[in-house]
Structure 1
Amino acid sequence: MIRINKLITINKTFFNILFTIFSLMLIAGCGVADDGKITARDVLKQNSDADILMYKGRIYSNMTEVEWFEQKNEQYIKYNLIGEIEKQSTNSIGFNDMTATKLPVGTKVHSSREVDNDKELGILIVEFEGGYLYYMQLLEG
């Protein structure tokens, strides 16, 4: 009888430790290791065909043909050239600044501002095939 009680105690202890470790891993996994930013992995996990790019550690998504944005895009103008696409990839590993899923290497990327305002916005304007594409910063929440 004592032997069975010891086994039960050992099993309870083992499962309590296992539960504690699992709980800590779950909490750590839900932490804010990426500063609350949406990552390329987050986006590509939901839509492997997403048209995104990364700039200054932030993910921007193509909004050019989104209905509500089409009505507003004329109020945004190119401001400063911030660089060119350096890498094209659909792999979230190594998805760094100036990496895009669809845009070819060498595509020029500009910051934007509103027509009547000099303040830069969370929208990037990309020169593409003689026209412009609009990429909006994705925010968590």
Structure 2
Amino acid sequence: MYRFSFVLVLLFLVGCMADGGKVTVREVLKNNPTADIFQYNGFVYSNVTELDWFNDKKENYKKNSLVGEIKKKSTRVLGFKDLTATTLPVGTKIYTTSENEDDVGILIVEYEGKDMYFMRLLEG
């Protein structure tokens, strides 16, 4: 039940990708205090690695260029800024999935030898 509720919240937050509206860390953590998120270029990214609807899409995304590393770990809204994460440790590497630097809808994180997929959250 919890996982189903989280998926519904995530789908609501992702909404229409063409809209361009930013979801805030405050909104995400209010709805799910244990969310696995980080912020990059002012946008919040949420872990979609284990979500059923994303499993078939994983093979479409490959690591491209390194865009940064997690600089801070925090679950507090105050001071949550770019390259801050709720669960990923400091030093975790973040990669693009496209040669187009503007195409950052999905980012790949390399964590404990495995790839994890994070989707940019936009308001619908």
Q: TM-score, normalised by structure 1?
A: 0.70
Deviations 1:16-35 (A, max 9, x none): xxxxxxxxxxxxxxxxxxx8
Displacement after TM superposition at 1:108 (Å): 0.3
Corresponding letter in the other structure for 2:68: G
- Other-structure match for 2:23: 38
- Other-structure match for 2:72: 87
Higher CA-based Rg: 1
Displacement after TM superposition at 1:78 (Å): 0.8
- In structure 1, stretches of 5+ residues that fail to align are 1-34
Deviations 1:5-50 (A, max 9, x none): xxxxxxxxxxxxxxxxxxxxxxxxxxxxxx8410100000010000
- Other-structure match for 1:62: 47
- Other-structure match for 2:95: 110
Corresponding letter in the other structure for 1:63: V
- Out of 72, 76, 100, the position equivalent to 2:61 is 76
- Other-structure match for 1:51: 36
- Other-structure match for 2:119: 136
- Other-structure match for 1:101: 86
Aligned residues: 103
Displacement after TM superposition at 1:80 (Å): 0.9
* 1:7-26 correspondence runs (5 A): none
- Other-structure match for 2:107: 124
- In structure 2, stretches of 5+ residues that fail to align are 1-19
- Taking every aligned residue pair, what percent have the same amino acid on both sides? 55
Let me know the Cα RMSD of the aligned residues.
1.3
Q: Normalized per residue, which structure has more helix? A: 1
